[in-house]
Structures are given as structure tokens and as C-alpha cells.
Amino acid sequence: MADGQRGAGEPRGTGLRVALLTYRGNPFSGGQGIYVRHLSRELHRLGHDVTVLAGQPYPALDDGVRLLPVPSLDLYREPDPFRTPRLGEYRDWIDALEVAVMMTAGFPEPLTFSLRARRLLRAARAQFDVVHDNQCLGYGMLGIPQPLVTTVHHPVHVDRAIELAAATGWKRLSLRRWYGFTTMQRRVARRLRHVITVSESSAQEITEHLGVPAHRQTVVPVGTDIDHFSPDPTVARVPGRVVTTASADVPLKGLAPLVEAIAKVRTERPAELVVIGTARRGGPVLDLIDRYDLHHAVRFTGRVTDEELVHQLRSAQVAVVPSLFEGFSLPAVEAMACATPLVATTGGALPEVVGPDGQAALLVTPGDPQALADAIGRLLDDESLRARLGAAGRERVVARYTWRAAAEGTAQVYHRAIEEHRARAHRSGKE
């Protein structure tokens, strides 16, 4: 091989050329944008060459990480979601498919992003050693030439089941159509050989809902920036302040039971709830705020910067993760990293992340407003308990949940995928 040339899959020292895919990269709309930003940064710091292929809204990336846009028609952008594109915006049949699925009440992005990404990756066959799909699970992922690793944070089937249980009438029919892409994700997942997930709880759900056997999965917990998310003794804790992060106002996140809990807490002591996120217009959360007259006691921040998020966590006396299910929970880890005492539910992986009840958090039954109110009230009333849980939470995060450790564990899976890909290619060549 001539100098300066190398084949696909041939490592450059210990560094790999990584294509990291995310069909939605927005750092403000949930954990996936955060995952891509911080994992790509730490992979780069380990010496890997990382290119992020992303659909709109595009992610925020750190220095040294390249962005390769995979533009869609961006049909859900604000302020005109579910828009009808102009004829001149159509570029090819994938665009037409994207609009057709949206117009029939489905969610097209996992499928259409995967088809666009496949086209790019086939053209760039020799430019990447490994492709890492961040929970797209579209049909296009089955047609790429490079070794493939896939992260599944948790099966979307869990979200689907919880939303359907909370819906009635025509809304149930609409949700079934919207979540139609989960059938594709199950079919794709069953053919994957290297799946990364973030907790043992998620691994079990992936086996149950997606049919991926345990031996094809590797648990690599995600992390947080423990220098940025950290306690600051110069920031005063505001008496009675409770904080929660709600990336989306959907039943899965348990925001409605938390609002009811705050109403109960306030019958015995002053309390306010700061929600890092936005309420859904016409949803049950705003109805509850009206019912209990909590307009001055519940505040929604909307989108915030990392600095604002850290400030909110540092200034609260209690943080709450009220979710009915979590595959991991970055909000829990971020609160613990700031030494903010935590109340969490036992939904999904939360006990695994925060530890046994009373060790680094108080655990309650999901969807139980009274249990949430009791735990929040207990912490607001007990300064020594707050101090003990806050210190224990910080210690647990530093020991277990850093992005450096996540990147190291992920890179190990990359190497296994590359070696297996080579072995299969060698066997095929001999045959």
C-alpha cells in the first residue's frame, strides 16, 4: 500500500475514524443530543477522529469534532411544525417519502435519516473504520459497508406503551400511527451484532421488546462532566426550591404526578417547583397547575444553557426525577454531581443509577403523588439528610459516571466490531 493510503478498518495507531450518527442532534431536546456531544468530545480526546452525521436540528459539538450535515426537510421545526414543503424543496424520492409518512400521521425521521446516511456512508466507504448509530435503527443501517455499532438508550416501545395507556379515543389511534416506526426498529435491532446500552435494566428491556440477545449487548453507562456539574458552596440553596428536568412533557416523564405532589407539599410548608423544560399547551400539567392554583409556585424555564442548568441544580434544596421509566437518567446524574439531594422513582434503571433507597437518593413508586410529596417534604425538613444524600450522590457519580469512562467503554466495542467485520470478510473471501 502506498504511503498515505490505508484500507477501511485499518487503525491509525490506536485511533479510529468514527462516523457517529444521530437523526436528531438538538442538545436541548433530550438526552440523545447531549450523548452525541459529550461522547464525541471524549472519543476525540482519546485520539479518535470523529465525524458526526446529524439531521436537523443539528447538534452543538466541541472543537476537534466535525459535523457532516444530513439535511432533511425539517418538517417539525419551530415555529411551523408539520409544515408542507414548497415544491422546490424536494430533492429526491427520500424527501417525498418523508412528507408522505408525515402526511399520514407517522414519524418518518428514523427511516429517512437512515436512508440518507446509507447513501453518504457508501460513498465514503474508505473514510471510516466504524459507524456508530445513536438509536436511529432505520432500515438504511442494514445496508452500510462499514462495521456497525448501535446505541439503544432504551426501546421506544416503552414510551409507546405508557403513552397509549394514558390516551383515550382517537388519540390512541393517532399514537399507534405515530409510533409505527417501532416495528422497523424491532426488525433492524434483531439483526444487529453490537449493541451498546446504558444500564442492565435497559439491556433487559432491549431483549424483551427488540429481541436482541444479551450476548450481543454491552452495558456502557453514560456520564457527566464532573468538573462542570459540581457543587459550589458560594451558591446559596433557596429554601423550599425543588427542581426537575423534563425534556418532554409526556406521561413517561411523570411531571403530572410531581405537580400534584408539590400541591400536597405546599399544604404543610412553602415550596416552589422549577421545571427545566416547557409545558405542553393543552396538556394535563397545565390543567393541574390551574386546578391547584400553582401559577406562582411552578416555573418553567424553557431551554437553558449548561451554565443555567448548573445554577438551577446548585440553588435547589431538592432535585426530583419523577419518571415512570428511565433507561438511564442524565438528569439524576447531573443533580447528584452537583450534590443536590435527590428524590427518584423506581422506574426502569433509576435504582441502578442512584443506588439503593437512602444510599444516595430517596426512592418512591412511579406515578404516586403522595409518595413523592412525602419524600420531598422529608428532605425539605431535614438539613442533615440533605447533606448526607448530596455528598453520597456526588461520590457515586465521580466513581461511576464520567464521559471519559463512557468513551473508553465505547471504543472497546468499536474494536470488537471491527475485528469481527474483518473476520467475516476474510471468511467470505476464502469461500
Residues 47-65: what's their mean pLDDT? 95
Phi and psi angles of residue 54, each rounded to the nearest 5 degrees, phi first: -140, 145
Do residues 109 and 146 share a domain?
yes
Give the chain's domain count.
2
pTM score of the predicted model: 0.86
Do residues 118 and 196 share a domain?
yes
Domain assignment present for 200:
yes
- Predicted confidence at residue 3, as pLDDT, reads 34
Q: Which domain holds residue 375?
A: 241-400
Find all residues with CB under 8 Å of 329, minimum gap 6, and list them.
321, 323, 344, 349, 350, 353
- CATH number of domain containing 311: 3.40.50.2000
Do residues 205 and 306 share a domain?
no
What band does 30 get if pLDDT is binned at 50, 70 and 90?
Answer: low
What band does 427 get if pLDDT is binned at 50, 70 and 90?
Answer: confident
Do residues 140 and 213 share a domain?
yes
**Higher pLDDT among residues 388 and 27, named by residue:** 388
Residues 47-63: what's their mean pLDDT? 95
Phi-psi region of 255 (alpha: psi -120 to 50; beta: other; left: phi over 0): alpha
With beta carbons less than 8 A apart as the criterion, state whether 272 and 299 touch: yes
Report which of 266, 246, 32, 233 is spatially closest to residue 151, judged by C-alpha positions: 32
d(CA 55, CA 67): 10
Report which of 332, 334, 336, 312 is spatially closest to residue 323, judged by C-alpha positions: 332
Do residues 118 and 66 share a domain?
yes
Report CA 134 to chain centroid distance, whole Å.
9
Domain assignment present for 233:
no
What band does 28 get if pLDDT is binned at 50, 70 and 90?
Answer: low
Do residues 342 and 391 share a domain?
yes
- Predicted confidence at residue 311, as pLDDT, reads 97
Phi-psi region of 277 (alpha: psi -120 to 50; beta: other; left: phi over 0): left
Q: What is the pLDDT of residues 378-389, one digit of tens each?
A: 999 999 999 999
Do residues 148 and 253 share a domain?
no
- Predicted confidence at residue 205, as pLDDT, reads 95
Q: How far apart, in Å, are the Cα atoms of 366 and each of 255, 258, 346, 369, 371?
A: 11, 10, 6, 9, 9
- Predicted confidence at residue 426, as pLDDT, reads 82
Q: What is the pLDDT of residues 201-239, one digit of tens each?
A: 999 999 999 999 999 999 999 999 999 999 999 999 999
Report which of 174, 93, 180 is spatially closest to residue 138, judged by C-alpha positions: 180
Do residues 349 and 417 share a domain?
no
